[in-house]
Structure 1
Amino acid sequence: MTQIRTKIKGLGFFVPKNIVTNDDLSKVMDTNDEWIRARTGIEERRYITRFEDTPATMGAEAARIAMDRAGVKPEDIDFVVFATLSPDYYFPGGGVLVQRELGLGHCGCLDVRNQCSGFLYGLSVADQYIRTGTYKNILLIGSEVHSAGIDFSTRGRDVTVIFGDGAGAAILQPTTEEGKGVLTTHLHADGRYAEKLAFKNPGSHSGVFTGDKEVFPTVEESPYASLMITPKMVEEGDHYPNMDGQFVFKHAVRRFPEVIGEALEATGLAVSDIDLLVPHQANLRIAQFVQKTLQLPDEKVYNNIQKYGNTTAASIPIALCEAWEKGLVKDGDLICLAAFGSGFTWASALIRW
C-alpha cells in the first residue's frame, strides 16, 4: 500500500515595513543596543503599521505568497490552521478572518493556541488530516502582533526588546513520493510552569492559579464586577506579558535537544543527517547553545532573529521560508524544525524536502 505523507508545496512570509532598532527602543526605556544584543542577539525587529496590519491581514498576505508559489487558488483550500497568541479578537479566532480575507468559501478553520510551538502543533494536526485523506490543500499560518500589547517602559524591557511582528504560511498537500514529506512530528507540554511565561490578564482565572487575588474586586465590593480586567491590573502593569527569562532559558536548552533527538530516533536518523535545523527564534543565545549541544556547524543552522526578533508562532515559517528563498533548502534535504515556548510546550518535526 502506497504511503501518503505531507509535503510543503509553497511557502510565504510577510513582515511589516516598520523597522525598529535597539537604539529606537533606548529612547523610550532604559536599555541600549549592546545590552540587547548581548542577551538576545537581536539587532532590530518589525512592528505593524497601526490601524492597517493585524494578525489576520498579515497571515493573509503570507498566505497569498504561499498559494501563488504552490499554484493553488482560493477555491482549492479545503482547511485552514491558524496559529497565534495575539489574535485579532478574543473570539472568534483568526482562522475565519483569514478565510474571509482570502475568499476561501466555507472551508473549516482551526485556531491553535500553543504560542512559540504553535506552528509545529499546527503542522502535526494538519499532517494527520493529510495522511488520512481528509484534506488535500491545507493552509497553515503562524502570525503575530506583539507590538500592540507590550510594555514600552523600563519596567517591561526584559520582554519588550525580544518580540517583533510578522507572519509565515505554508500550503500542505499529500505526496506519495518515496521518502519525501513530513517524516515525523513530536509534541510535548508541561503545564506546571504555565505562569513562568504568560499573558495572564485579561483572562478568566480571577487569581485562582496566580495567587494575586488582591487585584480583583471582592464579591462584597461588587458581586458582578469584571474579572477580566480591573483598574488595579492596569495601574500595576499586570496586563502585560511576563516572563522569568532565566527559568525559561534553562528549560529551553534542555528540551530543544531532547525533542530533536526524539524525532531522529523515531526515524532511525542521526544528527549528522540533518541538512538544516530551523529552530524557533526565541533567543539567539538559546539557538547557539542548542547548536553547540548537537555539534552542528554554522551552515546547518538557520537564524534570523537578528532582523525580526521573536515572532513566536510566526518565527519558524518566516525563517524556513527565508532559508528556502536563499537556496538553503534543496530537494532531498533533511530539514529539522524545533520549538519551545510558553506552556511550557515544545515540539519537533523532520521533513524530507
Structure 2
Amino acid sequence: MLRSKIGGIGSYVPDKVVTNDDLTRVMDTSDEWIQERTGIKERRYGTKHEETTTTMGARAAEIAIERAGISKEDIDFIIFATLSPDYYFPGCGVLLQRELGITNTEIGALDIRNQCSGFVYGLSVADQFVKTGMYKNVLLVGAEMHSMGLDFSTEGRGVTVIFGDGAGAVVLQPTEEEGQGVLQTCLHSDGTYAEKLAFINPGSHGGYHKKYTGEEVDYGYSDAEFGEIFLNQHMLDNDQIYPNMEGQFVFKMAVQKFPQVIMEALEKAGLKKEDINMLVPHQANLRISQFVQKRLGLKDEQVWNNIQKYGNTTAASVPIALCEAWESGAVRDGDLVCLAAFGSGFTWGAALIRW
C-alpha cells in the first residue's frame, strides 16, 4: 500500500531574540505576567525590510529539500500555509517558488489559510496527492512573520506577547514500507465563533460582520451605493487593524478539541494513546499543552514544547517543533508521532505518522 512519508524536514527562526523584558519597554507588562499566562519567555522577530514570510519559508524549505536527498527541481507541488502572507495576493506559494528559483510551469502552488491548523491541513492535502500517485515530492511549508502586524501597546499586549516569527518545512514522498509514513489525518471546523479569534480589518465585509456577532462597531464606512472603503483613516485612528482574540473563550475551546481529535485519529488508526511516542502540539499556549498532556496521561518526554523559546508561530509552530524534536533525537525511526493543532476559524486537526 502506497503511503506518504516525511522524506526531509527543516526549520528556520530569525536571529533576533525578543525577551519578555524587551516588551516591557513598549507596553505595560512583565516577564512574570507573560510566563504565568502563556509559558513564553522569548520569541524571534524577523529583520525588517530583509526577511518576509516567504524568505523564511524558503530557508526552511532548502534544508528540508537537502535532507530529502533531492534537488529543488524535483519538487512537483508546493503547499504554503500562513496567516501572514507577504501580500494580500498573490499568495506565498508562488513567491516561494520564485525565491527557490524553480519558476517553471510544471509545478503547482497552493496556499492554505487555516492559521494555526494550517500545517496539519496541508499535511493531509499533501498526503492525498502522494498516496494517489499524483505527485512524488510535495513541499509543504508553514511560515509566519507576525511581528509586522502586531499592536505594540498596552491595549494590544494580550495578543502581541504571544506571537513570534519562524518557518518549518517538510518534503512528502511516497513509501511502500509496511507501517511507515502518514497513517491517519482528521480535520474539523466550526465557523460559529469565527470572530472570537480574527483579523477583521482590512476586509471586504464592509462592516457587515456584525450580522453574525451582533456587535455595533463603527468602521467609518460611507453609505454610498458604490465604493465601500476597504481600509480607511477611521480604522487606523481607532486601532481597528490588529488581530482580535478572546483568550479565555479560545482556551476553553482548545482544551476540548485537542484531546478529542487526537483520540479520534488514534481510534481510526486502530491505536491507543499508550502507543504515542511523541506528541507535537501546535505551540499556542504552554498551559494548553500541559492540559492535553495530562488528559492523555503522557510523560514530559512524550510531549515536545518549545513555545518558551519561540512563542506561537501559528502555521510554523508544528513543523518547527517537529524538526527540533527530530534533530534532538527525541523522534526516532519506528516512533508513532502525533501532530495536533487548533486555531482561528475555528479549525482543528490531528495527524498520526509512523516515523
In the superposition, the TM-score normalised over structure 1's length comes to 0.97
Distance of 2:38 and 2:81 partners within structure 1: 24
Task: Describe how 1:168-317 pairs up with structure 2 within 5 A.
Answer: 168-210=168-210, 211-212=215-216, 214-220=218-224, 223-317=225-319
Partner of 1:62 in structure 2?
60
Unpaired runs of 5+ residues, structure 2, are none
After TM superposition, give the deviation of residue 224 of structure 1 in Å: 4.3
Aligned to 1:146: 146
Which of these residues, 69, 74, 77, is aligned with residue 75 of structure 2?
77
* 1:318 equivalent in structure 2: 320
Distance 2:162 2:121 in 1: 22
What do the CA deviations read for 1:210-230 (whole angstroms, capped 9, x no partner)?
A: 34452132224xx54452212
Report what 1:40 is aligned to. Answer: 38
Partner of 1:348: 350
What residue identity is the alignment partner of 2:354? Answer: R
CA distance in 2, matches of 1:275, 1:140: 23
How many residues align structurally?
349
Q: In the alignment, is the contact (CA less than 8 A) between 1:182 and 1:349 conserved in 2?
A: yes
Residue 73 of structure 2: SS of its match in structure 1? Answer: helix
In structure 1, how many angstroms separate the alpha carbons of the residues matched to 2:37 and 2:22?
17
Partners of 2:85 and 2:292 in 1: how far apart? 30
Q: Deviations over 1:37-65 (max 9, x none)?
A: 00000000000100011010000000000
Query: 1:15 aligns to what?
Result: 13
Q: What displacement does 1:206 show?
A: 1.2
Q: Secondary structure of the residue that 1:147 maps to in structure 2? A: helix
For residues 77 and 205 of structure 1, what CA distance do their matches in structure 2 show?
Answer: 37
Give me the identity figure in percent: 66
Q: What secondary structure is seen at the aligned counterpart in 2 of 1:177?
A: coil
- How far apart are the structure 2 equivalents of 1:117 and 1:156? 23
Q: Contact between 1:119 and 1:317, CA under 8 Å: does it hold in 2?
A: yes
1:311 positional shift: 0.2
Counterpart of 1:322, as a letter, is E
Higher alpha-carbon deviation: 76-85 or 100-109: 100-109
Match in the other structure for 2:124: 124
8 A contact 2:12–2:168 mirrored in 1: yes
